[in-house]
Chain A
Amino acid sequence: MSAKTRVAVLEGWFTLDESTPHLLGTQCASCGTYYFPKQSTFCRNPDCAGERFEEVKLSRTGKLWSFTNASYKPPEPYIAPDPFVPFSIAAVELEKERMIVLGQVVTGVSVESLKAGMEMELVLEVLSEDDTTQKLVWKWKPGSGGKR
């Protein structure tokens, strides 16, 4: 299966470094506000006139703010495997960026094993695939131990 091309499901939203992936955001050069998804035109801080942004890798670990799961198949444009396998979803607080980022939890982790405040780490998994291409998405994995 390694012959398949691996691409990001949303191009430019995260690095494809599979051992230590990062979400890709931007940072306002004037006030330091981070943006995910990327903002590259005008800063949204009402006190900031910033128009210059630098692309930054966001912290790849954070603390679990809240969590849930998807017991039913989401509608399009979600592409679900058939039969649908329920998945967990996490909201993770990034300390340095002072923001909360949503994402699926890695396959096989149910809500019973999650607890607010847990350390979570960013990983990549295949979201959907066809005969030639695998589309990767970021997911949150409980427990850190990974590199920042």
Chain B
Amino acid sequence: MKIALCSTYVPFLYGGARNIVEWLEASLKEAGHAVERIYLPETDDPEFLFQQMAAFRWIDLSAADRIVCFRPQSHLIPHPNKILWFIHHKRLFYDLWDSPYRGFPDDEKHRSLREALHRADSAAFREARKIFTNSKVVSDRLMAFNGVAGEVLYPPVFQPGRFHCRKYGDEIVCIARLEHHKRQHLLVRAMPFTKTPVRLRLCGVGSGNDYPDQLWNLAGELGCRDQILFENRWISEQEKVEILSDCLAAAYIPINEDSYGYPSVEAAHARKAVLTTTDSGGVLELVADGINGLVVEPDAVALAGAMDRLYLDRQEAARMGERAGGRLRDLGISWDHVLKSILG
């Protein structure tokens, strides 16, 4: 089948939104399909919102048997066989309207833009043969704002067979971008409260140096640097596999994230329990407390208690890790399942 994968992007910026497209591209090609990847530039400036949407309406992909659209506003591209794998709205005009992120006034002009955008989006959603989303949260928003149903299709990680478990060591690892909303600082704050020799390993880079510097300074102030391995650098895929294969468990505690997050899925593939928090949003679609990980309040004492529990009862940590792999199967997190859904 000739399949065009359509998404929007900002040139020279690389993020998770490209992963889902490029990994699907690789999987489809492996299955013998002809795939064309189409990235179109899009800016967030409300002044140009409708101009760009008009441009997407004029794209002619009749050469493709089917198109799959990801990041907004690629869902406006017309095609008789349009599938959406919808990952988020233009959120400033949706759920983040009443938030400090909006950045433009709540005036008549912008309210009109919002209303027109909602109508245009809803019409484009109705054109799609099928809508998948990357999480329950996004499906819920689609229903609440646009009145359309989206089936959750969890994005798998690339080549999950790479991940494996060698042992259950002494480290709780968090391999994720070092950003404030990922809240590595809560993990640092937890360390002085631990009562066992459990260790913390933080790996990743930030978009700037501020937050990484704050983290390391915080560890210094709290006198817990010797409990932490701080690797503020890009971690290669191979290193990631090795680190996850030897760790005790993984921690991933973002605040109210939309999707379950690749770090937690990667840990599950390595058969490691995931430590997360009650307000981590989409991560809770994957992790159930005491089953395949631990879910605790987002505070230092609770996190420290959970780390000690994992350290003291490795058999339990191992059992939860084993169940994490099973949980991925139950949720249909595999490329086989994705291809069946997208091509169905």
Is the pairing of A and B real?
Answer: no
